[in-house]
Chains A and B, each alone.
Chain A
Amino acid sequence: MIYFDNGATTFPKPQSVVRAVCGAVTSLGANPGRSGHSMSMKGAQMIYSCRSEAADFFGLSEPERVIFTHNCTAALNTVIQGVLKRGDHAVISSLEHNAVVRPLEEMKKNGVEYSVAEVFEGDDEQTIRSFRSQFRKNTRLVVCTHASNVFGTRLPVERIAALCRLNGILFCLDAAQSAGVLPIDLSDGCIDYLCTAGHKGLYGPMGTGLLLINCDTMPDSLIQGGTGSYSSDLSQPEQLPDKYESGTPNVAGIAGLREGVRFVRSRGVKSISEHEMRIAQMIYDRLQRTDGVQLYTMRPEISSHVPVISFNVGGMDSEHVAQLLNDRYGIAVRAGLHCAPLAHLSKGTEKRGTVRAVVSAFNNMRQAEYFCQCVNKIVSYNEKKVAFDN
Chain B
Amino acid sequence: MENKLIMFGSMTPMMRARELLRRHGIRGITVRTPAHLRRGSCGYSLKLRSDSAERAAELLRENRIPFVGVAAADYS
Q: Which A residues have a C-beta under 8 Å from some C-beta of B? A: 32-33, 35-36, 41, 44-45, 48, 51-52, 62-64, 227-233, 237, 239-242
Let me know if B42 is at the binding interface, CB within 8 A.
yes
Let me know if B40 is at the binding interface, CB within 8 A.
yes
Cα-based distance from A241 to B9 in the complex (angstroms): 12
Nearest Cβ on chain B to A43's Cβ, whole angstroms? 10
Chain A hits for B42, CB < 8 A: 228-232
Q: Which of B31, B40, B44 contacts A230 (CB 8 A)?
A: B40
Let me know if B61 is at the binding interface, CB within 8 A.
no
B40:A229 contact, CB within 8 angstroms: no
B41:A44 contact, CB within 8 angstroms: no
Q: Which of B20-66 contact A (CB under 8 A)?
A: 30-32, 40-44, 66
Cα-based distance from A41 to B32 in the complex (angstroms): 10
A36:B16 contact, CB within 8 angstroms: no
Let me know if B15 is at the binding interface, CB within 8 A.
yes
Cα-based distance from A360 to B31 in the complex (angstroms): 43
Q: Which of B11, B15, B19 contacts A229 (CB 8 A)?
A: B11
Nearest Cβ on chain B to A272's Cβ, whole angstroms? 28
Q: Which of A44, A48, A233, A240 contacts B40 (CB 8 A)?
A: A233
Chain A hits for B44, CB < 8 A: 36
Chain B hits for A52, CB < 8 A: 15-16, 19
Chain A hits for B16, CB < 8 A: 48, 52, 62-64
Chain B hits for A62, CB < 8 A: 16
Cα-based distance from A32 to B15 in the complex (angstroms): 12
* Nearest A-chain residue to B33, judged by Cβ: A36
B10:A230 contact, CB within 8 angstroms: yes
B13:A41 contact, CB within 8 angstroms: no
Cα-based distance from A48 to B41 in the complex (angstroms): 20
Q: Which of A33, A35, A36, A229 contacts B41 (CB 8 A)?
A: A229
A237:B10 contact, CB within 8 angstroms: yes
B32:A36 contact, CB within 8 angstroms: yes
A33:B32 contact, CB within 8 angstroms: no
B11:A48 contact, CB within 8 angstroms: yes
Evaluate whether A232 and B11 lie within 8 angstroms (CB atoms) in the complex, with A36-B31, A48-B16, A64-B16 already known: no
Evaluate whether A64 and B12 lie within 8 angstroms (CB atoms) in the complex, with A36-B31, A41-B30 already known: yes
Cα-based distance from A259 to B49 in the complex (angstroms): 34
A to B CB contacts below 8 Å, 15 in the list = A33-B11, A36-B31, A44-B11, A48-B11, A51-B12, A52-B15, A62-B16, A63-B16, A64-B13, A64-B16, A227-B10, A231-B41, A231-B42, A239-B13, A239-B66
B40:A239 contact, CB within 8 angstroms: no
Cα-based distance from A44 to B18 in the complex (angstroms): 13
* Nearest B-chain residue to A61, judged by Cβ: B63
Q: Which of B10, B19, B40 contacts A33 (CB 8 A)?
A: B10
* Nearest A-chain residue to B66, judged by Cβ: A239
* Nearest B-chain residue to A231, judged by Cβ: B42
Chain A hits for B40, CB < 8 A: 230-233
Cα-based distance from A51 to B13 in the complex (angstroms): 12
Chain A hits for B30, CB < 8 A: 41
Cα-based distance from A56 to B28 in the complex (angstroms): 23
A228:B31 contact, CB within 8 angstroms: no
Chain B hits for A233, CB < 8 A: 40
Q: Which of A44, A237, A239 contacts B15 (CB 8 A)?
A: A44
Cα-based distance from A231 to B14 in the complex (angstroms): 16
* Nearest A-chain residue to B30, judged by Cβ: A41
Nearest Cβ on chain B to A229's Cβ, whole angstroms? 3
Chain A hits for B9, CB < 8 A: 229-230, 237, 239
Cα-based distance from A361 to B42 in the complex (angstroms): 44
Chain A hits for B32, CB < 8 A: 35-36
* Nearest B-chain residue to A241, judged by Cβ: B12
